[in-house]
Amino acid sequence: MSTKVLFGFHAVTVRLKTAPQSITEIHVDATRRDARMRQFVQRAQEAGAKLVDSEDTRLAALAGTPRHQGVVARVTALPQRHDLDEVLDEVAGAPLVLVLDGVTDPHNLGACLRVADGAGAHAVVAPKDHAVGLNATVAKVASGAAETVPYLMVTNLARTLAELKERGLRVVGTSDDAEQTIFEADLRGPLALVLGAEGSGMRQLTRKSCDVLVRIPMQGAVESLNVSVASGICLFEALRQRGA
């Protein structure tokens, strides 16, 4: 069974909550004993996790970055959901899916997953050839959401959007030049929200696959928002319209 590394308080704490048995060991900064670290250590001990005191250089080597917050865990990789149909079949109400076209930065993906989790999205979908995969940086930024929100990478995004339409989902894409704003659109019912990377936006074929295009009304000097911020606005507007 494959193993991977998680680092940062949020990512490791979520794994302690959801699947403590999958944790092989947790390395913690031997010199850090502030309240946050003491609370984390207590939680890890209560979960029965193996704790290892480590120096900063070892933590950085394990995490692959110095931004580890003094917490690095070796874990068994959890089974990933690979079938979008399977995920949607388990949804009791109206499905809400976030589709990302061209998001290649792990920090942006991590933030999008965190937003998707907060808004109750049932899945995040991205093309295999035009996106970043799940890695330790994504998991750190996602603050645990990489463990809770299915992230599905598909071979053909346009075909996947067509399949979502066949399942009754309305595909709403975002574009700076759209006439309708996100606040004017009807986001109730089964929905797939499609966002492209900041700057380049959606690819042309993805754009053509959308049922309707909407924009976020910008009032200042900047022309666009970071994709994770835009995802948050769109998802929570959908949530608001659904009466949550």
Domains 3-76 and 84-241 alike in fold:
no
pLDDT in tens, 197-238: 877 789 999 999 999 999 999 888 777 789 999 999 999 999
CATH of domain 84-241: 3.40.1280.10
Structure confidence at residue 186 as a pLDDT band (50, 70, 90) = very high
pLDDT in tens, 4-18: 888 999 889 888 988
Domain ranges in the chain are 3-76, 84-241
pLDDT recorded at residue 130: 78
For residue 101, pLDDT beyond 70 = yes
Q: How far apart are CA 143 and CA 114, in angstroms?
A: 7
Q: What is the mean pLDDT of residues 100-125?
A: 92
Of the two residues 105 and 144, the one the predictor is more confident about is 105
- Give, in order, the Cα–Cα distances in Å from 200 to each of 144, 197, 226: 28, 6, 12
Structure confidence at residue 244 as a pLDDT band (50, 70, 90) = low
Structure confidence at residue 3 as a pLDDT band (50, 70, 90) = confident
Q: How far apart are CA 218 and CA 28, in angstroms?
A: 44
Q: How far apart are CA 173 and CA 61, in angstroms?
A: 40
Q: How far apart are CA 208 and CA 92, in angstroms?
A: 29
Q: What is the mean pLDDT of residues 129-143?
A: 81
For the whole model, what pTM was predicted? 0.73
Pairing of strands 212-215, 180-181: parallel
DSSP assignment of 60-106 equals HHHHTSS-STTEEEEEEPPPPP--HHHHHHT-SS--EEEEEES---H
Q: What is the mean pLDDT of the chain?
A: 90
CATH of domain 3-76: 3.30.1330.30
For residue 154, pLDDT beyond 90 = yes
